[in-house]
A = this chain, B = another copy of it.
Amino acid sequence: MIEIKVYTAHGLITCRHRHNETLLQTLQRHEIHLPAPCGGLGKCGKCAVRVSDEEAAGPRSPDEDRYAPAGSGLRLACRAVPQSPLTVTLTERVKTAADDSAAKGGAIDLPVVGFPMVRSVELMLEPSSLTDQRSVHRRLIDELDDPDTTVSLSAVRDAGRLMEDLSEPSDAAGLMISGPSGDRLVAVEEGVRDVLPALAIDIGTTTIAAYLVDLSSRRVLAVRSEENNQGRFGADVISRIAATAQGQDLTAVIRLQLSKMIELCAESARIATDGVLAATVVGNPTMIHLLFGLDPDPIGRAPFMPLSTEQLEIDMVALGLPAHPEATIVAAPGLSAYVGPDIIADILASRMNETGHLSLLIDIGTNGEMVLGDSRGLIACSTAAGPAFEGANIRCGSGGIAGAIDEVLRDGDALVLGTIGDESPKSICGTGLIDLVALLLEDGIVDETGRMDLAAARESPAYKDRVTERDGEDVLVVTTPGEPEEVVLTQGDLRQVQLAKGAIAAGVRTLLEEAGVGAHDITTVYLAGGFGTYVRPESALRVGLIPSLPVERVTAIGNAAGAGAARLLIDRASIEEANRIVAMSRYIELSRSETFQHFFIDEMIFP
């Protein structure tokens, strides 16, 4: 495998080239999307890149003569098939949704309309005189001419410095931060800032994603995705709550981790951390409680009354996060102890609340949350789906890390495995697990009760060499039998999948029953979250994770929680929309629902 270093506007990204693929394909696999309107046929020249070595980028095609002639230092990415390590510089600013492989699933779309949370305003500074002795502060207030806008002392200080010895009227740029309590002028500068960096943060129980967004160009400057360091206190929110009750300071853990992530994002985007001007954050209620220093304890026990489900706003520095001293962090509102700001952000991103067609949104993370509805109203529930799809309690399970099997197909008698980062397989993540189970169901190796049929497997050419025993337990070897690093599936793993799948499917059926509609009434199923984005809809349908519907009605919407958080940054009015979504939503508590219990038992069976 050849390493290709790519300098983008947002820093260096290292890509791994697969044998015989074009440079364009390599970059696309690493989510660096070069324009290729001609479809990669060497006709348009839009995918031209600067290369460190024209030779190393492989034999020239005559198609390149027009846009990337020999000796120009350029090559067309769609024609170049690298032969040796290479450094590539993008000739245009290209959207890079991710800057490290861990951010897989982190791509977000940014809305293009709306007034962002931070913006520049034009100001006219006039020299002081004996006939106009208004203070600098008063001049700024008069200039802004909006009773809902406040002027911070730092802006007054800035303007005072700019007005020293001013002899004639002069233009200046004001930096305005919008909070839910109004706009605040926080700085006055000579020129308009090129970039207005702000952060959209999605704190998952397992994974944290931070998007550094430029609110001026509406571009993603950097993405950072990390496993949540709270993981050492347990995989699910209940363990985290218990650890907190035992005196562990999980608030300090998340604040420290976020601080470091912000520093890394800023470094990668080559900005100073005090240039970070605003942040929005979403996450499940426990994660939000911990970040804001609220005791999550009541979330862990009936009647599940969280301290807050409200929109929260506080100075970033008050949470110990590196940022501009006047930067505010806004947490989106949530609905209940288990349907949090992350799900409201999912809805914001899907816009399912804006259409008259019935939609179902499923966000499967460490918990599984489901929302059903349309512009007339939404109902939501949450199931303790368990973190099976994030690898917990699965013998060789893992999250979406490099080397995790994320794709399982059968080609004749061979199993074809895809892995994250195309590394040699070390574990299996949720999407791989669903693919595998779907395949085993289809091939009759697992029956509808979830039992592994060893006899059938031993008779099948595709599986016979894969059935064996490990630590006294029958297992199916997923990796090529005989390889030293082995990934296996156990009967226990299948039970975990059944429990998780059963909980989600039962939650969906409970919502349908509450709404008085059938699965066939659903126009669109939105799958959100990293798992939702990468799970193969066919497999999800085959195992019964989602209602039996034509596959074209299923849409993966990526990290919708992160996209919703970014929408809050880019379109400040959407915080009102978030509150409207809460107001139009009804929460169904499944723990006391007999309907749910009934469906749960029923849905444990595979279709």
Docked complex: A280-297 residues within 8 A CB-CB of B = 292-295
Within 244-293 of A, Cβ neighbours of B (below 8 Å) are at 292-293
Q: Which residues of B are found within 8 Å of A160, using beta-carbon distances?
A: 294-295, 298, 307
Q: A565 in the interface, Cβ–Cβ < 8 Å?
A: no
> Which residues of B sit under 8 angstroms from A304, Cβ to Cβ?
130, 133
- Among A53-61, A135-143, A229-237, A498-506, the stretch in contact with B: A135-143
Say whether A314 faces chain B, with CB atoms less than 8 Å apart.
Answer: yes
A306 to B336, CA, bound (A): 50
In this assembly, does A157 line the interface, its C-beta being within 8 Å of a C-beta of chain B?
yes
Residue from A157, A181, A293 with most neighbouring chain B CB atoms (10 Å): A157
In the complex the two chains form, is A308's CB within 8 Å of B135's CB?
yes
Q: A153-B293, A153-B314, A156-B294 are in contact. Are A589 and B307 (CB under 8 A)?
A: no
Cβ contact of A589, chosen from B130, B303, B309, B310, cutoff 8 A: B130
When chains A and B are docked, how far (Å) is the Cα of A190 from the Cα of B133?
A: 51
Q: Is A129 an interface residue (CB 8 A)?
A: yes
Q: Which residues of B contact A133 (CB under 8 A)?
A: 303-305, 336-337, 587, 589
Determine the chain B residues whose CB is within 8 A of the CB of A141 once the complex forms: 310
Asked whether A294 lies within 8 Å of B587 as measured between CB atoms, the reply is no
Determine if B307 and A136 form an interchain contact, defined as CB atoms under 8 angstroms apart: yes
> Please, how many angstroms separate the alpha-carbon atoms of A292 and B136 in the complex?
15
Contact status A137-B303, CB under 8 Å:
no
Cβ contact of A137, chosen from B134, B307, B592, cutoff 8 A: B307
Name the one of B151, B157, B292 contacting A153, with C-beta atoms under 8 angstroms.
B292
Q: Which of B130, B293, B310, B314 contacts A135 (CB 8 A)?
A: B310
Q: A128 near B: Cβ within 8 Å?
A: yes
Q: Tell me whether A312 is interfacial, beta carbon within 8 Å.
A: yes
Closest-CB distance, A233 to chain B (whole angstroms):
21
Q: Work out how many copies of this chain go into the complex.
A: 2
Query: Are B303 and A129 closer than 8 Å at their CB atoms?
Result: yes
A113 at the interface (CB under 8 A from B): no
In the assembled complex, which residues on chain B have CB atoms less than 8 Å from the CB atom of A156?
A: 294, 307-308
A138–B129 alpha-carbon span in the complex (Å): 51
> Is A455 part of the binding interface, using a Cβ–Cβ cutoff of 8 Å?
no
A112 to B331, CA, bound (A): 42
Asked if B153 and A306 make an inter-chain contact with CB atoms under 8 angstroms apart, the answer reads no
One digit per residue, 1 when the CB lies within 8 angstroms of any chain B CB and 0 when it does not, for chain A 409-453 equals 000000000000000000000000000000000000000000000
Contact: B137 with A309, CB < 8 Å?
Answer: yes
Give 1 or 0 for each of A146-173: 1 = CB within 8 Å of chain B CB: 0000110100110011011000000000
Interface size for A (C-beta < 8 A) is: 41
From residue A285, how far is it (CB to closest CB) to chain B in Å?
9
What is the minimal beta-carbon distance from A361 to any residue of chain B, in angstroms?
21
Partner of A136, one of B136, B181, B308: B308
1/0 per residue A490-516: CB within 8 Å of B? 000000000000000000000000000
Is A310 a contact of B138 with CB atoms below 8 Å? yes
Known A130-B589, A153-B312; contact A136-B305, beta-carbon cutoff 8 A: yes
Closest to A310 in B: B137
Provide the residues of chain B in CB contact with A150, threshold 8 Å. Answer: 181
What separation, in Å, do the CA atoms of A305 and B292 have in the docked complex? 41
For A131, the closest partner residue in chain B by CB is B303
Is A592 within 8 A of B130, CB to CB?
yes
Cβ of A523 to closest chain B Cβ, rounded Å: 30
A317 shortest CB reach to chain B, Å: 11
Known: A305-B128, A305-B133, A309-B138. A157 touches B295 (CB 8 A): yes
Q: How far is the CA of A577 from the CA of B567 in the complex (A)?
A: 42
Could you say which residues of chain B place their CB within 8 Å of the CB of A306?
135-136
Closest to A182 in B: B181
Find out whether the CB atom of A157 lies under 8 angstroms from the CB atom of B298.
no
Per-residue contact bits, chain A 202-241, to B (CB 8 Å; 1 contact, 0 not): 0000000000000000000000000000000000000000
> In the assembled complex, how far is the CB of residue A137 from the closest CB belonging to chain B, in whole angstroms?
4
**Chain B residue nearest to A308 in the complex (CB):** B137
Q: Give the distance to chain B from A338, nearest Cβ to Cβ, in Å.
A: 10
Nearest-Cβ distance from residue A237 to partner chain B, whole angstroms: 16
* Interface bits A328-360 vs B (CB < 8 Å: 1, else 0): 000000001100000000000000000000000
13 CB contacts below 8 A, A to B, read A128-B303, A129-B303, A130-B303, A133-B336, A135-B305, A135-B306, A136-B306, A137-B310, A153-B292, A157-B294, A157-B295, A160-B298, A181-B181
Q: Please give 6 more A-B residue pairs, beta carbons under 8 A apart, in addition to A130-B589, A137-B308.
A: A134-B305, A138-B309, A153-B293, A153-B308, A160-B295, A160-B307
